[in-house]
Amino acid sequence: MDEKTEGQLRVIRKVIPVMQAVGISAWLFGGWGLDARIGRITREHGDVEFWVERIHAEQSKAVLVGAGATALTTQPPVEACEFTLDDVPFSTAYFDRWPDGSFSQPLGRWSDWLFPPGSFGDEPVTLDGTPMLAMSVSGMLAMKEQFPHLRNGRPWRQKDIADIEILRGLACGERTDGHIGAA
């Protein structure tokens, strides 16, 4: 494992218990979220991304800064916060829950991004020996498939196309509770 990956894993292992200690759930998504769902590291990642429910946005930022992270002012605060911790970049993006069980990011540039019910479950997955929450396969697949069609979306990159293929394969085996494999 290279130094960058080790640093990102250290950040994941620090963020999760810091947030849990104050009762805030944080779900990995993007490449690390996919790896967490698969249960192993599959490739190098550019960043570490967590979803946090919007009602916890300010508290999560304060808790992470209190744990040694530096909050950056690079993102609109209604959407996300980027941080560095030990020179490793990571971010928290914010979502809202809706009465029908779906989720969205209604404020800011991504207000047309919608996530299906079950996108943010409570049962952890394990990556490199660490239990953590990760956005569901169906939630990550919805994110990826919608992205080029969003008001502020962009075309898929090659890694997005590869991730979509993996996610579609995993979705065939995903149970309704957001886990992979047979019930």
Closest among 123, 114, 127 to 34, alpha carbons compared: 127
Query: Would residue 142 count as lying in a domain?
Result: no
Question: What is the domain-level CATH number for residue 116?
Answer: 3.30.460.40
- Does position 178 have pLDDT exceeding 50, yes or no? no
Q: Which domain holds residue 102?
A: 3-136
Number of folded domains in the chain?
Answer: 1
Beta strand 48-53 pairing with 88-97: parallel
Half-sphere exposure in the Cβ direction for 137 (13 Å, CA): 24
Residue 153 pLDDT grade (very low, low, confident, very high; cuts 50, 70, 90): very high
Has residue 98 been placed in a domain? Answer: yes
Structural domain includes residue 101: yes
Confidence band for 174, pLDDT divided at 50, 70 and 90: low
Residue 97 lies in a domain: yes
pLDDT digits (tens, 9 = 90+) for 114-136: 999 999 999 999 999 999 999 99
Prediction pTM value: 0.91
Give me 25's structure tokens. 């759930």
d(CA 134, CA 180): 12
Is residue 160 a part of any domain in this protein?
no
**Dihedral in degrees, nearest 10, Cα atoms 170, 171, 174, 180:** 20
